[in-house]
Every structure is written in C-alpha cells, then in structure tokens.
Structure 1
Amino acid sequence: MDERFDSWHDHMFQQVVAPMMITCDDPASFRGSIESIDLGAVHVSAVEASPCEAYRTSRMIRQSDPELFQIAFNLRGETAITQDRRCVLSQPSYLVLYHTSRPHQIRTGFSKETTYGVMVVFPATLLPLPLHKVERLTATPLSGREGIGALISGFLTRLVNGSDQYRMADRLRLGTVLTDLLTALLAHRLEADTVVPPASRQRILLLRIHAFMQQHLADPQLSPATIAAAHGISIRTLHRLFQTQDTTVAAWIRTQRLNRCRRDLSDPTLHDRPIHAIATRWGFTDVTNFSHAFSTAYGLNPRDYRRQLGQSARFLK
C-alpha cells in the first residue's frame, strides 16, 4: 500500500475517535488530510479524503469503546453511513449521527471524487437526552439547510474556516454552544424539547435571534417588536435575553450595522458608492445620525475614514 494511505490508516485507526478498519480501492492515488480543533469535551475535525471505506466491528467495540457520538456533516461529495440496520446516503448539507458503541460502516467517494466534510465527536453523556431515544436517530438524515440544522451547519463551517482565531477560553465556550445546538436539533426530532435544560434553551433562542437580526439588518423596520414577534416571545423577554449579553437590542443592531458600513467603506470596489447609499443599504435612514454614530464608534466620520484608507492604500503601492 502507498505510504500516504498507510499513514492515513494508522492515524485514523489509532488516534481518531475509536479504532476503525479502513480500506481503499486505489491506495497509490489516495490523498487525505485532517485538521482538528478541540472544544473541551467536543472535538471537531475538517476531513478531506479520496474514496475509501471504514468500518467498526463488534470485535473492535469489545476491545475499546469510548462511548462517543459522532456527527458527519458533508460539504462536498457523498457518504453512505450504515448503522442499526439503517443506511443513509449523506449528501452536502446533511448531518448524520452515529455511535461508536455499535458496528457501523462508512463509504465515501461513489463518483471517484474527493469527499470533504466536518466530523463532530462528543461523549454520549454530554447530551441531556435519554440515550435509547437518541439512538433512534442514528443513520438518519438531519437537514442542515433549515431550522436548527442550518444554525449548526453555518456554525461548523465558520468554525473550521477560522479555527486559528480562537483562544482556549473561546474554544470551551464554543463547545458549550455547539452542544446546546446539537441537543436542540436532536430534541426537536424526538419532540422532547421539555428535557432540554432551560439555560440551553435560552442560549439556543438567543442564537436564533442573532441569526434573524443579521439577516434583516438592512431592514429599517427591524425593531424589538418585529424581532419578538418573529420568535413568538414578548418584547420584555427579548430585552431580558439581551441583558445576559451586557447590551441592548438597539445597541446590538446599531453595532452590527456600523460594522457592515465600515466594511463597505473599506472595500476598494465600492469607492464610488456614495456614503449615504452605504448607510441606507444597512438600515440607517438618517445620514446625520449615521455619521455621528460612526464617528463615536471609530473616531473618524465616514468621509475621513474612507479618505484615510484610500491614502494608506496608495502609500502601500
């Protein structure tokens, strides 16, 4: 076998999650890479590999079983995952759950293509859900395009693309967020939301609200009333949620809008776009108020900020 495949096989067999046997139809041309990030008890890896097959047998389980759940999130290519007499063909944006405690098989690259995705590994004891119920969801497709699944897929994509930006304290917090999101997704499928701890439900609701606000920043009608109505909560509840963030709803919206405006003012391809058009694009209806808020936040008014960036760019040339 090719050395590249030998190295991949040894690494996956000995170090990743739990021992698995891996085979490949064409070892000579095999390519594989794995980049990992530890989030405390949760482990996330971006995995790219040529077509191969991995399986975990009853004998392997008897020899070693860390009792972990895994979630595979495909970004490119197709992966077939078989467990508990179920088989799912995981296509891009699918999330698929499986468990180390029972035999399973994973096959990638049906069209001779390289498969790329994210693997999440976490202890079964980390979920505040009955194990026998969660096991009903192994080898079943969970959508990553809508609802809580969309939050998870977006979270994982951004996480692996910026893994070098997080300090250890950041990673531990991100691990808690990811656990809460996974709990919410599985509980939703099991219709068991009542077993999710209140603190987790609150954090998940706040994540959904943040995502909604980001999507509607350009709408000048975005307000506590519209946000609360979209999530079926009272305005008082919304304000109480934001008290845990040490900010207000209005301040959060203003900060995000200013960040978007600053980004546009920094973009050389938008240097001909009027400042008032940029402000309007991100929900500011009063240019004077926008200019004052921008100056307070960044120490320069929008025109001087853009001019200073332009001068710096010309100097660097």
Structure 2
Amino acid sequence: MSSPAPMPDPAPLDNIRFTTDGVPAARRRTYWREALATTFGAVDIGVPDEVRSGTIRMAALGRVQAVTVESEPQTARRTRSLIACSDNEDFVVVKLLTRGGARVEQDARDSAVHPGQLFVYDMARPIRMALPEPFETKSLVLPRSVLGLGESDLCRITASPLGSDTALGGLLVPFLSRLVDTADVCPEPVGELVTRNVVDLLTVLADEQRGAGATDSPQGVRVLMTRIRAHINANLADPDMTPATVARAHHISVRYLHKLFEGEGITVSRWIQRRRLEECRRALARRNAAGVTVAGVAHRWGFTSASHFSRVFREAYGLTPADWRDSNVSARTVPADRTERAEALPDRAA
C-alpha cells in the first residue's frame, strides 16, 4: 500500500501526523484509509464513502508511540494474510476509548467497549474492531518486548474491556490518558517511568487472569507501590493521613508498608511530607501566588502547623516559603505553559 499524501499544512501543531483538513474531498477517503494503515499497520480499513474529518496525533516515548485518533465511524480488520505480509506483528496496542462506542473481537472474545474503558490487542493475531459512531481513542503502541508478556499471558487480556470502576482500571485509565495527552511535552525520564507503570499494571492484570496473587511477583510489588502512591497523592490534603491509614486502605500491615518503602530508601512519613512540600512549592510558584498566604497553602496540603511547614520547607529547599513565593512573582517574565504542562504529569504516581 502506498504512503499517504503529504499532510497539507503541518505548521499549526507539530504532533499532528495526519489530518484530512485541506485534503480535497475526492481524495479524502483514500488518504484517511492509508493514514490509519500507516499508523497501526497493515489493516483492512472500512470508512464512509464521504470522509468529512479525521486527525491522528503521534508522539514518541522512547520505543513506545502515543497516538490520539479522532474520526468518523469505521471498521478495522487484520487478517492472517495481512499479518503475514506486515513488518509490525511484534507490536501490542493498549487503546482507551474516550468518545463513541466500539466492538472488538480477538482470541475468541467479542466485547462491547464503552467510553472510559480500555482494551488490549495483539498485532500478531487476527482482530476485528468496529467503531459505529464518531469516536476518539488514545493508544500506546508498544513493542511486545517492552510489554514482556508471554503468548499465553497476552491471550488472557486481549479484547477484555477494563474501566475505571475496577481497581486496575482506576489506575490504568488516568495513567494512559494523561501520558498520551502530554507525550509531546513529556520529559523523557518521566515518560519512561509512567509507561513502565502502565506496563506493570497490564502484567498484574495478566497475573490476575491466570489466578496469581497480586504481590506474588516483582511486578505485583511495583503495582502495589503504584496504588499506594496514588492513594497518598489523592489524600495529601488530609492532615489525618498516616502510615496506619495508608496501610489500612490497602489491606496490609503497617510493618509491611514500611518494608515496601525501605526498598525506596525513604520512610512512608518522609515520602508523604516530601509530596506535600512539592505541592506547596508548586502552589507558591504559580502566577496567582502573590495574593496567597503561606499558612493557607500549608493547610491546603495537609500541614497543621504553619511554623513546622516553614521549617521543613527551608530545610528542603534552602528558602523560606515566603521568599520562594516572592522570588517567583518578581522573576516571572516569560510564559511557562509548556513547563506547567510537563509538570502536570503524574510523576509521583509512578
């Protein structure tokens, strides 16, 4: 299959790889079919006779591709003959449906997928996917070697929708969505770290599907730590959060919780304090920080004593909170939109 025609106007957004904007109506259907096949491999794509709009955004995260597709109804079918003549059969796609509905068939499973659910499919085996209404998807395209799952384990999780109402989906869905949305401005180490979390969660999903315990493997331990960090991040404003409440929320002992954090080289209490300090530091550096009080920021992020907060902040950063706020207000002369977008990544949820 020939490559798609050059994108008509790549200037406005440098992470748009393909768009139907500017493509003549007579060529739009062919252009869009080839754009999808180029992005996701040799696939038999069915699209409407009259394609009105479609956009594919891509960004690289090391060996992983982050892809957002907005388009009209379509079907996709990857047959054994297409797989045989393709050079990308060693890739696995993790796809989050953010708008529209879908139906996916692979490995003898035929599943309906709803907005907010994600699913996995293997490019090395036949698949059929139908999207009967306008849709948006966010995907990670991973080499099989990055995922690290064997054939039988991968077969257990393909075409099995996972939503945010499940324990694993509640972590996977926001991770994947944020990672794809910010991939173009994501610092490489952060992108790799969050991608690793996605991979670890998929590994634990495979473990659960075969009946293995959640912490029977190193991957399971990593995912438990991911859950614990996510819980801490979500409850930083609660001054009553302690190692005991964190352990209770995850059905483990306080002793085991401390053992987990020993491997991180930090105590649980120290990690909670460090995260609170980081959020306070960020809040005091914002554009509207001139009118906020140090005590207000401290209380917002779970510190009960303003004087204690000022002391630990100075120990951590070498400045008092007020000095840090004032220095950022006076020194701010250029927009920091890209920096703020990058900092918005859930790097502590790793």
C-alpha offsets along residues 216-238 of structure 1, whole Å, 9 cap, x if unaligned?
Answer: 11112222222222223333332
What secondary structure, in the 3-state scheme, does the structure 1 residue paired with 2:259 have?
helix
After superposition, residues 57-68 of structure 1 pair within 5 angstroms as 57-64=79-86, 66-68=89-91
User: Structure 2 residue aligned with 1:300, among 312, 319, 343?
Assistant: 319
Equivalents in 1 of 2:194, 2:121: separation in Å?
22
* TM-score, normalised by the number of residues in structure 1: 0.83
Q: CA deviation at 1:4?
A: 4.4
Residues 118, 161 of structure 2: 8 Å contact kept: yes
Q: Which amino acid aligns with 2:181?
A: N
Structure-2 change in CA distance of 1:10 and 1:137 (3 Å): same
* TM-score, normalised by the number of residues in structure 2: 0.76
Structure-2 change in CA distance of 1:316 and 1:82 (3 Å): closer
Equivalents in 2 of 1:316, 1:181: separation in Å?
39
Equivalent residue number for residue 252 of structure 2: 233
Q: CA deviation at 1:288?
A: 0.7
After superposition, residues 185-224 of structure 1 pair within 5 angstroms as 185-193=205-213, 198-224=217-243
What secondary structure, in the 3-state scheme, does the structure 2 residue paired with 1:193 have?
coil
Q: CA deviation at 1:184?
A: 1.0
1:54 aligned onto 2:73: no
C-alpha offsets along residues 123-182 of structure 1, whole Å, 9 cap, x if unaligned?
Answer: 289444561x64354333222343111211121122122224455555555443322110
Equivalents in 1 of 2:241, 2:231: separation in Å?
10
Structure-2 change in CA distance of 1:190 and 1:235 (3 Å): same
User: Structure 2 residue aligned with 1:117, among 138, 141, 154?
Assistant: 138
After superposition, residues 15-26 of structure 1 pair within 5 angstroms as 15-26=38-49
Give the count of matched residue pairs: 310
Residues 77, 91 of structure 1: 8 Å contact kept: yes
C-alpha offsets along residues 215-261 of structure 1, whole Å, 9 cap, x if unaligned?
Answer: 11111222222222222333333223223323322221112111222
Residues 237, 300 of structure 2: 8 Å contact kept: yes
Identity %: 30
What secondary structure, in the 3-state scheme, does the structure 2 residue paired with 1:29 have?
coil
Residues 56, 67 of structure 2: 8 Å contact kept: no
Residues 223, 250 of structure 1: 8 Å contact kept: yes
1:135 aligned onto 2:155: yes
Equivalent residue number for residue 6 of structure 2: none
Equivalent residue number for residue 115 of structure 2: 92
Structure 1 stretches lacking a partner, 5+ long: none
Q: CA deviation at 1:202?
A: 1.4
C-alpha offsets along residues 269-295 of structure 1, whole Å, 9 cap, x if unaligned?
Answer: 465443222211211111111111122
Equivalents in 1 of 2:276, 2:41: separation in Å?
45
Q: Which amino acid aligns with 1:221?
A: D
Residues 71, 119 of structure 1: 8 Å contact kept: yes
